[in-house]
Amino acid sequence: MAEMKDITKYKTGEHILIKGNEALAEGAVRAGCRFFSGYPITPQNEVPEYLSWRLFEVGGTFIQAEAEVSAINMLYGAAAVGTRAMTSSSGCGISLKQEGISYIASAELPIFYANVMRGGPGLGNISPYQGDYFQSTRGGGHGDYRVIVLAPNSVTEMGNFPYLGYKLADKYRIPCMVLADGLLGQMMEPMEFKFDWVDINKLPPKDYTLTGCKNRERRIINTLYMDVNILERHTWHLYQKYREIEATEVRYEERYTEDADIIVVAYGTSARVAMDAIAKARKQGIKVGLFRPITLWPFPKKRLLELTARSSKFLVVEMSIGQMVEDVELSLQGKAEIYFYGQPGGIVPTGDTIKNQISKIKPVSDVSDSGTQKLNSQSKVIYLNDI
Amino acid sequence: MIFKRPEGLTNTPWRYCPGCGHGIVHRLIGEVIDELGIREKTIGIAPVGCSVFMYEYFNCDMIQTAHGRAPAVATGIKRSHPDLICFSYQGDGDLAAIGTAETVHSAARGENFTIIFINNTIYGMTGGQQAPTTMPGQKTTTNPYGRDTRIHGFPIRVCEMLATLDGPVYLERVAVNKPVNVIRAKRAISKAIKLQVDNKGFSLVEILSPCPTGWGLSPKSACEYMDKVMLPYYPLGVFKDLIK
């Protein structure tokens, strides 16, 4: 058992100080990851750097691939033979991986990957950004598919989401990703692993992996269906799976929503900063709450709509020019006023900046001649950046 | 019985054109799988192209991959489970155009798997477009006046290129246009896979193969064309053999 203790590195619940990217990497190994391939890109480099020695310690495989395109296809191979595999990148690298992710989604193989977002489009910059929401939540690659998207907002979640990620990926045979950003990846803060070391030898056997056809029929992993009726059947099968995930795997966090007149909707780093703004606004007697989607797909549409029973104003804050705001708009079905504040460029807004946006919103609807109402008649979403 | 279908192949009818070389090469691989007794631990990788359907033809575990990515998939398989035997089967467009990076780097890393590379100088399935190995002067559907090297560049000699790397242990070019060459092709396939079984490292067998449909020739004249035009440009032989 002494050897075992050495491999597991940290006790469950032990308080440690660690960088977000390293917590993600250690969490993945702890959750059973034994294969990583990736390509260097800032701001996620600590993930491959950490795994290059850590996977070696646990008898796993680390490969620095020649390109992201190759890296994701190495995962396709590793997952096909039943290994818990992982890759990580930032937005522009994920763009290259989308081809492989599409194949993996169709082949229904479980993989886990992370996008530690940087500025974009193009080469952008290496600062924290939330511009890859569409890329993540809309499948991203070609074809009719979905991936599960988990959005952490702390180093603790960075370290613990790999466990959830592999659990969901295995359960639904689906790619599952963490959508973080440069701030969550680069910052250090105290955290703890809340799950026990996963013994990979005790994971349930999979009846679809390629292990050699000894004593059984051969198995085929394939994504080509020339017969339109068979592709149709395959796609409806994926559809059923996605509906089940939407019904059972929605995750979110709420703060002070019970009495909130205004609800800030934000994920990841934006949500973290928004809490500071909410505390400041509440000190001034403005009743503000936070709704933080943890699963960006499936998006917590139903719960957001329920919240319109109490709150009539929602402020979406994103470190982008507005992407998740479209999902909020769809969720609220015109039953509340939607405000948006975006901070692009790779700049993290301060609590005061968000607090100032909250102050622009009148807590109680005033249908007289306010500028807000005039804007509202033209557009469902009121862009506070313009006011 | 003195002649039968190898255990390594299913009894699914092949959908290849008359005179196509894929059927010959499939059969050779099937025989080698039988002779080495590795069917129950072999994973075959199907490419994109005419041979994509080979996952239906081989009687072992199979995976179909994106265009050009087979060597990356093979890397993931073999690094996770070194005890499995893994071969990819790729055409010239797959291996030497869209998948050049995967090919070169898996060779450079010396990954312990085997690539069976079919060079028929054309994109067969998509309708006969120019391949990276298309001969100078050869007409295709994307250069109807023939490959002009001043405009379309030069064909790639894959074995020669990979032979500059330290990673591969075995590189040989063979052909399947006549019985003597078919016998040599089988020997090369067998040697390449045997090296993998012995954990020796990266092996690739380039097989010059006829595509009568794509070339606009009869099966017989396609085989003669290979001798006359292809073989002088793509000389047969061993380009690397570290384990003699």
Summarised one tens digit per residue, pLDDT across range B95-116 is 999 999 999 999 999 999 999 9
Chain A residue whose CA is closest to B81 = A81
Mean pLDDT of A108-130: 97
Residues in A touching B76 (Cβ below 8 Å): 35, 37, 73-81, 83, 85
pLDDT of amino acid A372 = 45
Domains in chain B, number: 1
Residue extents of the structural domains in chain A: 2-213+236-247, 254-386
Q: Let me know: does A357 contact A339? Beta carbons within 8 Å.
A: yes
Give chain B's residues under pLDDT 50.
none
Alpha helices in A16-90 (DSSP H): 20-30, 46-57, 68-80
To the nearest whole angstrom, how far is the Cα of A39 from the nearest Cα of chain B? 13
Assess A86–B contact: CB distance below 8 Å, yes or no.
no
Q: Which residues from B are below 8 Å from A81, CB to CB?
A: 43, 76-77, 80-81, 84
Cβ–Cβ of A61/B74 closer than 8 Å?
A: no
Best of B73, B88, B111, B115 to mutate (most A CBs within 10 Å, chain A): B73
CA dist., res. B5 & res. A155, Å (int): 59
Q: What pLDDT sits at residue A363? A: 65
Quick check: A220 and B62 CB within 8 A? yes
In the structure, what pLDDT confidence band is assigned to residue A346 with cuts at 50, 70 and 90?
Answer: very high
How far is the C-alpha of A58 from the C-alpha of A303, rounded, in Å?
A: 41
Which residue stretches of chain B are H helix? Answer: 22-36, 54-57, 70-80, 92-93, 100-109, 149-152, 158-162, 179-197, 212-215, 219-225, 231-233
Name which of A36, A64, A69 to mutate to probe chain B: the one with the most chain B Cβ atoms within 10 A of its Cβ.
A69
10 Å CB burial of residue B13 (0-12, 13-18, 19+) is exposed
Residue A327 CA to residue B53 CA, distance in Å, equals 41
- Segments forming the whole domain that contains residue B109: 22-241
Q: Which residues of B touch chain A, with CB atoms under 8 Å apart?
A: 39-43, 46, 52, 55-56, 58-66, 69, 71-81, 84, 101-102, 104-105, 109
pLDDT at A305 (0 to 100)? 97
Structure ipTM over 0.95, yes or no? yes
| Contact check, Cβ <8 Å, B63/A80 | yes
Contact B76 A67 (CB under 8 A): no
Assigned domain for B11 exists:
no
Token pair of A121 as six digits: 């489009």
Task: Judge whether residue A263 has pLDDT over 50.
Answer: yes
Interchain proximity B77–A77, CB inside 8 Å: yes
The pLDDT assigned to A320 comes to: 98
Minimum distance, in Å, between the CA of residue A60 and any CA atom of chain B: 8
Look up the CATH architecture of domain A254-386.
3-Layer(aba) Sandwich (3.40)
- Taking a C-beta distance cutoff of 8 angstroms, is the pair A151, A141 a contact? no
Share of chain A above pLDDT 70, in %: 94
pLDDT at residue B30, as a whole number: 98
CATH topology of domain A2-213+236-247: Rossmann fold (3.40.50)
Contact between A85 and A33 under an 8 Å Cβ cutoff? The reply is yes
Q: Measured between alpha carbons, how far is residue A294 from residues A150, A159, A314, B20 in Å? A: 6, 14, 17, 54
* Contact residues for A284 (Cβ-Cβ < 8 A; gap 6+): none
Task: Say whether B43 and A66 touch across the interface (CB within 8 A).
Answer: no
- Contacts of residue B81 in chain A, CB cutoff 8 Å? 81, 83, 211
Quick check: is B158 in a domain? yes
Of B46, B69, B79, nearest to A35 by CB-CB distance is B79
CB A324 within 8 A of CB A274: no
Whether residue B146 lies inside any domain: the answer is yes
Q: Is residue B5 part of a domain?
A: no
Q: Is residue B127 in a domain?
A: yes
Q: Is A87 on the interface with B (CB under 8 A)?
A: no
Do domains A2-213+236-247 and A254-386 share one topology? The answer is yes
Band (pLDDT 50/70/90 cuts) for residue A362 is confident
Angstroms from B58 CA to nearest CA on chain A: 9
* CB nearest B105 (choices: A66, A103, A219): A66
Give residue-wise pLDDT tens across range A7-19.
999 999 999 999 9
Query: What does the radius of gyration of chain A's CA atoms come to, in whole angstroms?
Result: 22
Per-residue pLDDT tens for A220-251?
A: 999 999 999 999 999 999 999 999 999 999 99
Give the CATH number, domain containing residue B131. Answer: 3.40.50.970
Q: Do A70 and B59 touch (CB under 8 A)?
A: no
Structure tokens at B238: 């061993």
Cβ–Cβ gap B76/A35 under 8 Å:
yes
Whether A373 has a pLDDT exceeding 60, the answer reads no
